[in-house]
Amino acid sequence: VPPPVAALAIGGGLTLLATILACIAAWLLSNRRRLRSMTRLGQYRVERELGRGAMGVVYQAQHLLLKRPAALKILAPDLVDAASRARFEREVRLAAKLQHPSVVQVYDFGVTAEGLFFYAMELLDGITVRDLVATHGPLPPARAADFVRQIAQALREAHGKRIIHRDLAPANLMITVRGEQYDVVKVLDFGLVKRIRSMPGDEDHRGPSTEAGIIIGSPGFIAPEVLRGREADERVDIYALGAVFYTLLAGRMPFSGPTPQATINAQLRASPVALHKLVPELPSALVELVNDCLQPEPKQRLRSMSEVLQRLDALGLPPWTQEQARHWWKNQRRAAA
């Protein structure tokens, strides 16, 4: 091809590429604006934005016919590639398999005419464990144990269906009130859930929860074997549950640093400050339970959520009663009024 013609061909190709990129950018911007100003999505009336995360935006909404409140999670327009859609759909389908009261109930799933992927789940009014600890500090051991018991029961059901969560962390745990029941724990964000490999050929059996070499999860709560790129099983949730338990009792994470990478480095190279040094009055058996969940080597950890629950029961802690929980919630509402 003569140089002038070649230059023209290259220039035309660049012009076409620029046009395509401009169209994509305009489409993404249009969808972002639509998300911000959205008032209706399918059979749902959108009322207000609740929050944004890595996978998308969550809105408070109401079903137009059932008049039932719901939380709508919409896949971010930026994440329209096949891998992100597959991960979003997996989150919905696996979460929908779980019936435990401490798992958020999924109502609906669909795609709008504009191509927006969404699902509807029960609307929760409460406080995350992260915000609870940040605001109120360490919890009484009985209350912390009650929270952990509910989480362990929910994950025991999930593990029984060969599902692991992989991102159990204070930000993904909400404390709420359901009817007349106080201090109900809800496990949120199954965006990293996966099926545990049961036989060769099972899909999605990769161990580490990474994408393009980037660790996905909550630093400080990701099991060391995941950070090292090894295969994950139920014990990654046991490690994370131990880190959550530690946080509830100590009022601080077992590992932390000025940056996410510094936190990860601390997990891989150091041991957490001993719980009994932070909270001397804790029973030794309770400290041992947390330590046995937080073992860096999976083989040294407790083997199942059933074992966690057995150890919890063996502690003989005084129960955290509904009367105590109701009193706490009433005080919070009174203070907020």
Query: Would you please indicate which residues are annotated as catalytic (active-site) residues?
Result: 167
Write out the two tokens for 12: 């035309």
CA distance 41 to 118: 9
Torsion sign over Cα 87, 91, 92, 93: positive
Amino acid at residue number 145: A
Give how far Cα 63 sits from Cα of 32, 51, 117, 179, Å.
Answer: 23, 19, 17, 20
CA distance 153 to 151: 5
CB atoms within 10 A of CB 252: 16
Q: Which residue has the tokens 């706490």?
A: 328
Element (H, E) at 306: helix 305-315
CA distance 329 to 182: 8
CA distance 48 to 66: 19
